[in-house]
C-alpha cells in the first residue's frame, strides 16, 4: 500500500520556456462556440472539462487558448500529432502540395502518392509492401477485415475485449466495449478475454489468455478463421499492454487455423512507443496486415492498410477504390512525417523521455493511494485511478477533478479505459524532459489536492 498522501508539497514548477507568442485572437469566444456546438454539432460529442477550452493555435507540444494562455498538450491531439502541432516541415510540404494538385488519387499517376507508399513500405518488416490508403483508422480496419475474409473465404474474426477499432459497422462489431452502447451487428466476431495484466482474470499470464483464443477457435468456429485483429497497446481502452507471451502464441494459433493476423497500429505506431517504430515489433511478431492512421499524417486525415503482395492480390479486379484515401495533400504530409521522425530522432526521444516520465509516475504511485496502476511504453503511458487499490474501484469522478486541476495548472490530457478512469498520456514525440517534469509535478499537485 502507498504511504499516506503527503501535504500539498508538490507545487508544480512553471511551464518550460517556449519561444513563441501567438498573435492576439479576436474571433468568437468560448461561450459563443460552446453555444454553437450545443446547437449544431452532434449531441454525442462530449468534452472532458466543466469549462471547455477554446483552442485557437497549436505549436509543437503546446496549445494556446483565446487569451494566449499556453497549455502543454499531453494528449497530442488524440495521439495524432506525433511531430508536434503545425510542425513547419509538415505544414510546408502540405501547402506546397496544395498549390500543385489537391486531388488525384487512383485516377492518374502522382508521385506524392506513390512516393509516400514506397517510403512507408520501407518502414515495414517482412514482405509487407503493398499499401492501400484510406481517410481514417476506422476505414483502414474495415478494409483489413474485408481483405482477411476475402483471402481466407471465412467470416470468423477474433477480436479482443476492451479493444477499439473504429466506429463503422464492421469495426464496431470488433469493438466489444461498444456492445452495450449501440445496437451493433457483430456477425462473425468472437471477443477474446482481454490480456490485461492489471484487471484481467489471468493476471499477467499471457499463455492462459492465448488459450482462450484457441478455445474460441475450437468451440466457436469450424476450426478455420478469417483472422485476428488487435491493437498492440490498447489506446481508447486505457493504455493496456498485452500480457507477455500473448501475441506470439495467438499469432501461432491463428495461422494454424488458416487466418490472417491484423495489427492495428492506429494509435501505437509511428514511433510512439519509443523502442520500435511499430509497437508490434516489441513482441517479435510479423503481422499479415498492418493498419495505421492518427500519427501517419500528424493529424491530417489519412489512414493506410499495408499487406503482402499475395494477400493484396485478392483486391485485383474487384475495383476497390476510395475517393479521398491517398489524397496527395495528405500523403505529402505523411511523407514529411516520416522524414521529421527520422531527422529529429523522435523515436529515440519517445523512448528516453517516456522512460523518464514513467519512472516519475511510478514514484508518484508509491505516494498516492488513488494511483492504482502506471503502464505503457515510450510516450504512450496510462495512469489508472482507483478509490480502493484492493478492489480496484474505478475513480470515475476523481479523475475529472484531477484533470480539471491539471488544466488549471496548464496541462491538457485525455482519459479512457472501460470505466473511464485512466489518464492517457500520448503527447507529441517532441515532448522534452522538462515537459515531463512539469507534467508529473502538475499531476502530483492535483493528486495531493484531492
Q: Which residue's CB is nearer to ligand PLP, number 64 or number 277?
A: 277
Q: Which of 82, 136, 232, 405 binds ligand PLP (CB under 6 A)?
A: 136
Residue 68: Cβ within 10 Å count = 13
Q: Which residue's CB is nearer to ligand PLP, number 305 or number 412?
A: 305
* Kind plus residue range of the DSSP H or E element containing 35: helix 30-40
CB of 393 to ligand PLP, least distance (A): 26
Q: Which residue's CB is nearer to ligand PLP, number 266 or number 371?
A: 266
Q: Which residue's CB is nearer to ligand PLP, number 236 or number 371?
A: 236
User: How far is 324 from 297, CA to CA, in rounded Å?
Assistant: 14
Q: Does 191 bind ligand PLP (CB under 6 A)?
A: no
CB of 303 to ligand PLP, least distance (A): 6
Q: Which residue's CB is nearer to ligand PLP, number 164 or number 431?
A: 164
CB of 447 to ligand PLP, least distance (A): 27
Q: Can you give the length of the chain in residues?
A: 450
Grid cell of 157 as nine digits: 474474426
Strand ranges (E), 258-362: 260-264, 289-292, 303-307
Q: Which residue's CB is nearer to ligand PLP, number 221 or number 230?
A: 230
User: How far is 263 from 125, CA to CA, in rounded Å?
Assistant: 13
CB–CB of 441/10 below 8 Å? Answer: yes
CB of 29 to ligand PLP, least distance (A): 29
Q: Which residue's CB is nearer to ligand PLP, number 138 or number 307?
A: 138
CB of 274 to ligand PLP, least distance (A): 18
Q: Identify the burial level of 310 via C-beta atoms within 10 angstroms of its C-beta, where 0-12 means exposed, 13-18 middle and 19 or more buried.
A: exposed
Grid cell of 177 as nine digits: 466495449
Q: Which residue's CB is nearer to ligand PLP, number 154 or number 380?
A: 380
User: How far is 75 from 423, CA to CA, in rounded Å?
Assistant: 9
Q: Which of 22, 77, 84, 137 binds ligand PLP (CB under 6 A)?
A: 137
User: How far is 297 from 135, CA to CA, in rounded Å?
Assistant: 10
Q: Which residue is closest to ligand PLP by CB?
A: 137
Question: 214 to 253, contacts with ligand PLP by CB under 6 A?
Answer: 231, 235-236
* CA neighbor of 386 nearest in space, from 78, 75, 2: 2
User: How far is 55 from 38, CA to CA, in rounded Å?
Assistant: 17
Q: Which residue's CB is nearer to ligand PLP, number 10 or number 289?
A: 289
Grid cell of 141 as nine digits: 480496419
CB of 164 to ligand PLP, least distance (A): 5
Question: 264 to 303, contacts with ligand PLP by CB under 6 A?
Answer: 264, 266-267, 293
* CA neighbor of 435 nearest in space, from 4, 10, 17: 17
Q: Tell me how many residues contact ligand PLP (CB under 6 A).
A: 14
Q: Which residue's CB is nearer to ligand PLP, number 288 or number 441?
A: 288
**β-strand 289-292 against 303-307: which pairing, if any?**
antiparallel
Q: Which residue's CB is nearer to ligand PLP, number 303 or number 394?
A: 303
User: How far is 300 from 293, CA to CA, in rounded Å?
Assistant: 9
CB of 166 to ligand PLP, least distance (A): 4
**β-strand 227-231 against 260-264: which pairing, if any?**
parallel
Q: Which residues contact 156 (CB under 8 A, 6 or more apart)?
A: 188, 189, 190, 220, 221, 222, 224, 225, 226, 259
CB of 138 to ligand PLP, least distance (A): 3
Q: Which residues contact 16 (CB under 8 A, 6 or more apart)?
A: 432, 434, 435, 438
Residue 138-177 contact track with ligand PLP, rule CB under 6 A, x = bound? x--x----------------------xxx-----------
Q: Which span sits near ligand PLP by CB under 6 A: 32-40, 91-99, 137-145, 196-204?
A: 137-145
User: How far is 301 from 324, CA to CA, in rounded Å?
Assistant: 9
Q: Which span sits near ligand PLP by CB under 6 A: 135-143, 147-155, 215-223, 334-342?
A: 135-143
Residue 385-424 contact track with ligand PLP, rule CB under 6 A, x = bound? ----------------------------------------
Residue 33: Cβ within 10 Å count = 14
Interacting residues toward ligand PLP by CB under 6 A: 136-138, 141, 164-166, 231, 235-236, 264, 266-267, 293
Amino acid at each position: 500500500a502507498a504511504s499516506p498522501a503527503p501535504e500539498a508539497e508538490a507545487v508544480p514548477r512553471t511551464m518550460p520556456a517556449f519561444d513563441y507568442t501567438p498573435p492576439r485572437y479576436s474571433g468568437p469566444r468560448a461561450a459563443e462556440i460552446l453555444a454553437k456546438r450545443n446547437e449544431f454539432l452532434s449531441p454525442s460529442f462530449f468534452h472532458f472539462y466543466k469549462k471547455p477550452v477554446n483552442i485557437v493555435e497549436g505549436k509543437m507540444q503546446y496549445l494556446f487558448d483565446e487569451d494566449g494562455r499556453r497549455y502543454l498538450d499531453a494528449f497530442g491531439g488524440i495521439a495524432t500529432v506525433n511531430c508536434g502541432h503545425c510542425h513547419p516541415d509538415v505544414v510546408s510540404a502540405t501547402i506546397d502540395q496544395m498549390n500543385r494538385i489537391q486531388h488525384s488519387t487512383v485516377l492518374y499517376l502522382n508521385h506524392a502518392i506513390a512516393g509516400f507508399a514506397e517510403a512507408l513500405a520501407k518502414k515495414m518488416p517482412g514482405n509487407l509492401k503493398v499499401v492501400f490508403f484510406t481517410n481514417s483508422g476506422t476505414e483502414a480496419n474495415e478494409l483489413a477485415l474485408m481483405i482477411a475474409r476475402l483471402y481466407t473465404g471465412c467470416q470468423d474474426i477474433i477480436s479482443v475485449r476492451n479493444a477499439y477499432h473504429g466506429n463503422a459497422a464492421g469495426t464496431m462489431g470488433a469493438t466489444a466495449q461498444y456492445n452495450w452502447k449501440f445496437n451493433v451487428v457483430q456477425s462473425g466476431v468472437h471477443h477474446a478475454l482481454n490480456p490485461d495484466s492489471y484487471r484481467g482474470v489471468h493476471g499477467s499470464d499471457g499463455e492462459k489468455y492465448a488459450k482462450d483464443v484457441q478455445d474460441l477457435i475450437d468451440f466457436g468456429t469450424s476450426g478455420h478463421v478469417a483472422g485476428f485483429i488487435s491493437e498492440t497497446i490498447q489506446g481508447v481502452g486505457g493504455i493496456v499492454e498485452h500480457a507477455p507471451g500473448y501475441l506470439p502464441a495467438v499469432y501461432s494459433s491463428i495461422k494454424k487455423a488458416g487466418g490472417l493476423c491484423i495489427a492495428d497500429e492506429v494509435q501505437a505506431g509511428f514511433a510512439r512507443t519509443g523502442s520500435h517504430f511499430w509497437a508490434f515489433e516489441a513482441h517479435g511478431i510479423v503481422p499479415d496486415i498492418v493498419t495505421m492512421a492518427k500519427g501517419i499524417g500528424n493529424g491530417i486525415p489519412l489512414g493506410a492498410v499495408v499487406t503482402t503482395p499475395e494477400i493484396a492480390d485478392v483486391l485485383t479486379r474487384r475495383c476497390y477504390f476510395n475517393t479521398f484515401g491517398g489524397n496527395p495533400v495528405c500523403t505529402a504530409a505523411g511523407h514529411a512525417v516520416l522524414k521529421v521522425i527520422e531527422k529529429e530522432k523522435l523515436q529515440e526521444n519517445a523512448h528516453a523521455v517516456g522512460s523518464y516520465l514513467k519512472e516519475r509516475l511510478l514514484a508518484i504511485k508509491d505516494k498516492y493511494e488513488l494511483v492504482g496502476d502506471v503502464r505503457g511504453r515510450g510516450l504512450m503511458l496510462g495512469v489508472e485511478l482507483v478509490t480502493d487499490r484492493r478492489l480496484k474501484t474505478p475513480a470515475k469522478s476523481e479523475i475529472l477533478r484531477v484533470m480539471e486541476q491539471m488544466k488549471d495548472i496548464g496541462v491538457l490530457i485525455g482519459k479512457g479505459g472501460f470505466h473511464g478512469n485512466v489518464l492517457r498520456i500520448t503527447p507529441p514525440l517532441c515532448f522534452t524532459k522538462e515537459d515531463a517534469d512539469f507534467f508529473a509535478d502538475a499531476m502530483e499537485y492535483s493528486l495531493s489536492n484531492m
